[in-house]
Structure 1
Amino acid sequence: MARPSPLARLVRTRRAPGRAGMMHAPSTLFLTHSAPVIGPCQVRLIPPGQLGEEDRARWAQLSRAADEGNIFAQHWFMDAALTHAPREEDVHLAVVQDRHGRWIGALPLFREKSFGRWPVRIWTSWLSTNQFLGTPLLLPDHGEFFWRQLFAHLDSHSEGEILLFLRQLAFDDSASAALFAHCAATGRPVRMTQRHERPARRPDAPEGAPGDRKTASRLRGLRRKLERDHGKICIDIIADGQNIEQWVDQFLPLEKSGWKGRRGSALGCDQATEALFRNVMQHGQGNGSLRLASLRAGGKDIAMTSWFETRTHGYGFKMAFDEAYRRYAPGQQLMQEIAAHIARRAHLYFDTCAPEGTTSYHKLWPHRRMIFDAAIALGSTPRRLAFETLMNARTFYANITAPWRRI
């Protein structure tokens, strides 16, 4: 019997001893189509303030033609995010384009002088405050070509960086498959540094009912109590975005009234994050991707949520609820309605984008999606040796400090 090829051995990871978040990446995830030959290309690192009209037109063209694996990477979201980025972050948009100027892929990057506690120079993928997926924007079937060109450029235009740190990639995305396939084929060292699962609905997976009987029964009981104590319950799902300004004006103070406001992390606590939120909501309304929902009791909004949809994918965005009604679990009640609404769209892949550590919504969704960070070696043999030394040192440090962290 023929031995399976490396590309056919899927999702094989081996953990470093005593370190749940530190592991070697699998050689690949699934097969991808080979990218067509497109001849000479150019890699550009463009400061956002230097993007010209022609660049923006090509960026928009790439967004229209790209895989729908990450709506947060599309030009209308990312351009707004980069506009509101802190000035101290020297972000560049890394663009791979062919000889005709057509953009093949784009990913925002910036340089850092440390990797966590370790004083080494690295490249890092940039994410905005409210961006929950870090996949690059890519033309279909061009993932391996994009990574090959980007790594070649970073290898040869170095200021001492020993790795590229990619954050919030999706394990089941074609861009991730192309990344691991390229690293396996070229012998470029790559390590996963952290991973977690979040609730999702995957049309390609065996269907399961959103939630279980016990959770559904509990929420039905809480809904009856909410209606008895506070009046008629109404759930509005808005797909056309006509009431967006009114909805946003109600959402911001609702979010700020809760724990996020007390911690200073609510959108309304910072002018830049509020402006970004309003900006992307308006753009989402304009391109038809924005969805809004509210749960009202006795005519008062007590839970509100927003998400984006493309033809094939959905992405959770921002949610808030009135903590005065916490005993009725209004956020879970609204999320249960959204899960049922999404389930009626059989072809839609929905990523809740729930933050790491959030477990209250897991029973409302039938599937899980793994999100991970990865470090990829850059440069010459000595720099790759430095990369391996760094990764081993991180593992050793994690092992010896694990008992103290548990205490």
Structure 2
Amino acid sequence: MSGLQSFEGKDICANRFRDGLAASECQAILHPAGQIDARLAEAWGDLAMAASEPNIFYEHWFLRPGLERFDHHPDLRLFLLWAGEPGHSLLLGLLPLGPDSRFGRWPVPHVQNWMHHNCFLGTPLVRKGFEQAFWEQLLIVLDGSNWPGFLHINGMTIGGPLDRALRVVARAQKRRCDLVYSEARALLQSDLGSQAYFEATVRGKKRKELRRQTKRLAELGDVTFHHRTDAEDLDRWIDEFLQLERQGWKGYGGSALDSSDQTREFFRDVLRGAARGGQLERHDIRLEGTPLVMLVNFHSGAGSFSFKTAFDEAFARFSPGVLLQIENLRLLDRPELDWMDSCAAENHSMIDSLWSGRRHIGRFSVELEGVSRRTVFRGLRLGEELMGRLKGRTIIDPTEGQA
């Protein structure tokens, strides 16, 4: 019997801990990132389903292939917060983190959550209701560790439950917690249905042009749209995606997934893992059976993430990526999903013209205890603020003015 299956009354335990009646029972540990057994994987999956803020990039089926395929610091750890005995109780929180010798261009040692080039969100996985307990226990562990510098959290949602909890804990402990960078990327979220949203968001002239492009494309042959949530023919579909992306500008520039063994196999691993968990969606538009554009989405709870798109640049005049994203708007008609994160760069010309919502993502730097650590932190922050003023940088905090 597995650890979670043998752990009786997990909901009762969660409620007791949330009420502060069993706080002394929790255990926070730094677990070697390469040692993930079946028991931890099961607890991890249970945590993801109950997370305060969904983040597929830190779910087991996505993070583990990244750890296996990409380079990382040998001291990288999984911070795990357990409700009781590790491996035999409820997993309350998880964050991959470790030491880093450089902070941007500066040789400043610090501790940072781990992300790679295909990881687009760094918000920790924390069970709903345990946000403050997570940060309190993480800071206790880091204060007592021999890791240098300060804590840097990269890619966290601004204004969400984890951000709010971190600021509350930092204020209560009288330690600085600074938002040092922010950006806004496209978010699909609305009470409108897909057609009403499309008409409200995209101007009439643009809609007319898209109808014209759809008609002209149809004149070339049989155009079909496909939406799959199963694993049937998945490997063949993956091969088509990799080939389609490789033959475009990413392939010429060496940044396509198929440009290296590491990214190619990582992509295969995560799509297979998502399919096993029922969290994968595949979309494509085909002309006479040949893919023109392909899209990968992942779901977690009520949230969704648009991960990768590839299209045939020979058909760019028909805007196949836009046409597929119009089909993707049907997410708004599905009651089980509340939103989709574009995972796109800020000011992305295509998706920003279709999605009117914005999700604010930021980087946070947090003081750790110790005279030398505080000295490093405050010296760095002073330098960052001076450079920001000289270059006219503005950090937008959408939570300013909120209680």
TM-score (norm 1): 0.84
In the TM superposition, what is the alpha-carbon distance from 1:369 to its structure 2 partner? 0.9
On the 8 A contact 2:185/2:344 being kept in 1, the answer is yes
On the 8 A contact 1:311/1:348 being kept in 2, the answer is no
On the 8 A contact 1:168/1:371 being kept in 2, the answer is yes
**What is residue 282 of structure 2 aligned with on the other side?**
292
In the TM superposition, what is the alpha-carbon distance from 1:383 to its structure 2 partner? 2.5
**What is residue 375 of structure 1 aligned with on the other side?**
365
RMSD (CA atoms): 2.4
Trace 1:26-105 onto structure 2 (pairs within 5 A): 35-37=18-20, 38-40=22-24, 41-67=26-52, 69-86=54-71, 90-101=75-86, 102=89, 103-105=91-93
Give the aligned residue type for 1:373: R
Gaps of 5+ in 2: 1-16, 394-403
Quote the Cα distance in structure 1 between the aligned partners of 2:186 and 2:67.
28
Identity of aligned residues (%): 29
SS at match of 1:176: helix
On the 8 A contact 1:63/1:137 being kept in 2, the answer is yes
Give the aligned residue type for 1:158: N
On the 8 A contact 2:192/2:332 being kept in 1, the answer is no
**What is residue 119 of structure 1 aligned with on the other side?**
107
Gaps of 5+ in 1: 1-33
Trace 1:92-241 onto structure 2 (pairs within 5 A): 92-101=77-86, 102=89, 103-159=91-147, 161-203=148-190, 209-210=197-198, 211-212=201-202, 213-228=204-219, 230-241=220-231
Quote the Cα distance in structure 2 between the aligned partners of 1:157 and 1:81.
25
Classify 1:308/1:183 alpha carbon distance in 2 versus 1 (closer, same or farther; 3 Å).
same
Quote the Cα distance in structure 1 between the aligned partners of 2:254 and 2:73.
20
Classify 1:148/1:282 alpha carbon distance in 2 versus 1 (closer, same or farther; 3 Å).
same
SS at match of 1:193: strand
SS at match of 1:354: coil
Pick from 314, 321, 345: which aligns with 1:355? 345
Quote the Cα distance in structure 2 between the aligned partners of 1:204 and 1:147.
33
Quote the Cα distance in structure 2 between the aligned partners of 1:205 and 1:124.
39
SS at match of 1:116: coil
Classify 1:264/1:56 alpha carbon distance in 2 versus 1 (closer, same or farther; 3 Å).
same
Quote the Cα distance in structure 2 between the aligned partners of 1:168 and 1:202.
20
Alpha-carbon deviations, 1:56-92, whole Å to 9, x = none? 3332332343335212222222222212221556421
Quote the Cα distance in structure 2 between the aligned partners of 1:279 and 1:268.
13
Quote the Cα distance in structure 1 between the aligned partners of 2:74 and 2:213.
46
**Aligned residues between the structures:** 367
Question: Is 82-91 or 117-126 further displaced after alignment?
Answer: 82-91
Give the aligned residue type for 1:132: F
**What is residue 384 of structure 1 aligned with on the other side?**
374
Pick from 320, 323, 326: which aligns with 2:310? 320
**What is residue 400 of structure 2 aligned with on the other side?**
none
Give the aligned residue type for 1:371: I
In the TM superposition, what is the alpha-carbon distance from 1:162 to its structure 2 partner? 2.3
On the 8 A contact 2:175/2:367 being kept in 1, the answer is yes
Trace 1:243-258 onto structure 2 (pairs within 5 A): 243-258=233-248
Give the aligned residue type for 1:95: L
Pick from 283, 289, 297: which aligns with 2:273? 283
Quote the Cα distance in structure 2 between the aligned partners of 1:272 and 1:90.
21
Quote the Cα distance in structure 1 between the aligned partners of 2:74 and 2:260.
17
Alpha-carbon deviations, 1:281-333, whole Å to 9, x = none? 11111111100010112432110001012341111111111111112111111
On the 8 A contact 2:34/2:67 being kept in 1, the answer is no
Question: Is 66-75 or 360-369 further displaced after alignment?
Answer: 66-75
In the TM superposition, what is the alpha-carbon distance from 1:395 to its structure 2 partner? 2.0
**What is residue 266 of structure 1 aligned with on the other side?**
256
TM-score (norm 2): 0.84
Alpha-carbon deviations, 1:134-157, whole Å to 9, x = none? 111111110110001001111111
On the 8 A contact 1:48/1:83 being kept in 2, the answer is no
SS at match of 2:232: coil
Quote the Cα distance in structure 2 between the aligned partners of 1:217 and 1:185.
55
SS at match of 1:188: coil
**What is residue 25 of structure 1 aligned with on the other side?**
none
SS at match of 1:128: coil
Give the aligned residue type for 2:19: P
Quote the Cα distance in structure 2 between the aligned partners of 1:202 and 1:183.
31
SS at match of 1:360: helix
Quote the Cα distance in structure 2 between the aligned partners of 1:48 and 1:382.
28
Quote the Cα distance in structure 2 between the aligned partners of 1:234 and 1:54.
43
